[in-house]
Amino acid sequence: MEVRFLGCGDAFGSGGRFNTCFMVTAADTRFLIDCGASSMIAINRFGVDPNRIDFILLTHLHGDHFGGLPFFLLHADHIGKRDKPLLVAGPRTTGERLTAAMESLFPGSSTKKRRFELRIEEYELEKEWRSGTVSVIPYRVNHQSGDGPSCALRVSCDGRTVTYSGDGAWSEGLLKAAKGVDLFIAEAYYFDKTVGGHMDLRTLVANLEEIGAKRLVLTHMSDDMLGRLDGLAFETAEDGKTIAL
């Protein structure tokens, strides 16, 4: 399994980083975890063929995590000439929120006949969702994002397990999602400032022993964190960075 950070930034583009979009390449499939608003720019910047993406997993329905989907879908139809199905899986209300986003940005785009089949599926919390050899278990995290829950995703394939925290303050759901995984990609929005709905590094560090992940990579960092990178003793994400597991 290989994880590539196409985008690892926050909602505000801190440090000039793209919004969240991770590409996972497994033995028999390739998929995205989140598709933030700038994802098509990142996909083109890093030379990724979007037609090779089989499905897209969403942690929650904020623009910096799913706002790139309308652009991805329009590109697939008009530029990529995609002819194979695309599956999008996310938390409850994903279907209606995607439709609303498409109609807001490109009126008529949600009902236009496509060249390819688009399937939308919605997770059940703490229930396994599967696509072929890929297993996903979503856990509720402490972050408000509308009618649907925000999730941490525990993703398993090729004999490895990766958890992405999504956005969220500390919660038991996050602990369940990340317990003992091979790779924990964790939000660290602030260094030691506690704010509602987001993780600070001090709180994360206090819980690392209980989590017991084999490898930790920090992501979704604000300027507060980015200004401290030189002194950090932790691995951090960068746009374009690749991790092989």
Decide the pairing of beta strands 151-157 and 134-140.
antiparallel
- Give residue-wise pLDDT tens across range 121-152: 999 999 999 999 999 999 999 999 999 999 99
Per-residue pLDDT, 187: 98
H runs (alpha helix) in the chain: 39-45, 63-66, 69-78, 94-105, 172-178, 201-211, 223-226
Share of the chain above pLDDT 70, in %: 100
* Across 203-223, average pLDDT: 98
Per-residue pLDDT, 160: 98
Contact 225, 190 (CB under 8 A): yes
Contact 179, 126 (CB under 8 A): no
Per-residue pLDDT, 95: 98
Q: Which domains does the chain have, with CATH numbers?
A: 2-244 (3.60.15.10)
The band of 104, judged by pLDDT with boundaries at 50, 70 and 90, is very high
- Give residue-wise pLDDT tens across range 155-195: 999 999 999 999 999 999 999 999 999 999 999 999 999 99
